[in-house]
Amino acid sequence: MSRRPIGVFDSGVGGLTVLKELIRRLPNERYVYFGDMARTPYGTKSKETVTRFSKQIVRFLLSLDVKAIVVACNTASAMALDSIEAEYDMPVIGVVKPGAKTAADTTKTGHIGLIGTEATISSGIYESYLDTYSPGIHLSGKACPLFVSLVEEGCIEDPVTTEIARRYLSVFKGTDIDTIIMGCTHFPMIEDTIQRVAGNHVKLVNPAFETAKSTQKMLEERNLENDEEIPVDEEAYRFYVSDAPDRFSRIADIFLPLSISGAKQIAIEEY
Ligand code: DGL
């Protein structure tokens, strides 16, 4: 058992969808969340850059004595997870593997759709995981960058979002895709719209949900979970950002049923 916090990070606010699932599944844990508001988005950046940013954040989280790290960003998981795992002696969970595994278990036709940032789609990481779980599965990817801004603008149930979803998802129409991975942190926020446009014959996989399950399993296996309730007067969730704490708190309201005030700004380049 360990009372130390779990470190969770993302390029910005999107990872809060993962934090939400973690809190739901592991309510007795303490969490430290870092959002890289100064350098978001990661989805258009190179592997080298995303890896450098991610390692700085890992070093920052380690300085807060976290017991495990959840890379709550699809782009960072796709591009940097391997090097983080190789360099740091710490349990690290990314969002890609759990989502890929569930998708492989879900599809009946063997044809899966993937939506995410440009970087995630072009990384080929989902293909390689799927290939190890179930060789022969066919993956069709579609970058949907506008969804990120739409969610951050609060356009959750909105005709504009529906129209953009129609355009993006039209590439999957007429195919035998029966499963779509929402391979970007923001997308579960507009799950209803994506489901409506994709059609009910398609199952949506939410990597945030699957990641929380994997985190629970990992904590149990390593005897790291905290079973004691957290005292009400203790701050169980701490939030840090590299810039724009007010914008972070404002957008966070869309993502989390918690009011986040007082996200602390830190100089991430120093780590
Ligand atoms: N968090 C990112 C992801 O899941 C989306 C936003 C970005 O591009 O940084 O890929």
pTM of structure: 0.95
Ligand 1 center to 178 CA (angstroms): 24
pLDDT at residue 245, as a whole number: 95
pLDDT at residue 262, as a whole number: 82
Q: Which residues are 112's β-sheet partners?
A: 139, 179
- Which of 57, 73, 155, 197 does the annotation list as catalytic? 73
Nearest to 75 by CA among 90, 95, 60, 100: 95
- Which of 16, 184, 197, 208 does the annotation list as catalytic? 184
Whether the CB of 41 sits within 6 Å of ligand 1: yes
Contacts of 200 (CB under 8 A, 6+ apart): none
Q: What is the dihedral of CA 90, 217, 253, 184, to 10 degrees?
A: 80
Q: Which of 126, 186, 248 has most ligand 1 atoms within 8 Å of CB, for mutation? A: 186
Query: Cis (ω within 30 of 0) for the bond into 41?
Result: yes
Residue type, 67: K
> In this structure, are residues 57 and 101 in contact, taking their beta carbons and an 8 Å threshold?
no
Give the ligand 1 atom nearest the CA of 116: 10
Atom 7, ligand 1: which residue's CA is nearest? 41
Chunk the chain into consecutive blocks of 10 residues (it has 271) and report each block's average pLDDT, rounded to whole numbers. Answer: 94 95 96 97 95 98 98 97 96 97 97 96 95 94 97 94 98 98 97 98 97 97 93 91 94 84 93 97
pLDDT at residue 235, as a whole number: 87
pLDDT at residue 71, as a whole number: 98
Give the residue ranges of DSSP H helices in the chain: 16-25, 47-63, 74-87, 96-106, 118-123, 125-133, 146-152, 159-169, 191-198, 207-221, 245-255
Q: Where in the chain is the domain with CATH 3.40.50.1860?
A: 6-94+209-270, 96-207
Is 73 part of the annotated catalytic residue set? Answer: yes
pLDDT at residue 227, as a whole number: 87
Is 184 part of the annotated catalytic residue set? Answer: yes
Tell me if the domain spanning 6-94+209-270 has CATH number 3.30.70.100: no
d(CA 236, CA 247): 22
Atom 1, ligand 1: which residue's CA is nearest? 73
pLDDT at residue 162, as a whole number: 98
Tell me if the domain spanning 96-207 has CATH number 3.40.50.1860: yes
Whether the CB of 211 sits within 6 Å of ligand 1: no
Give the ligand 1 atom nearest the CA of 185: 4
pLDDT at residue 25, as a whole number: 96
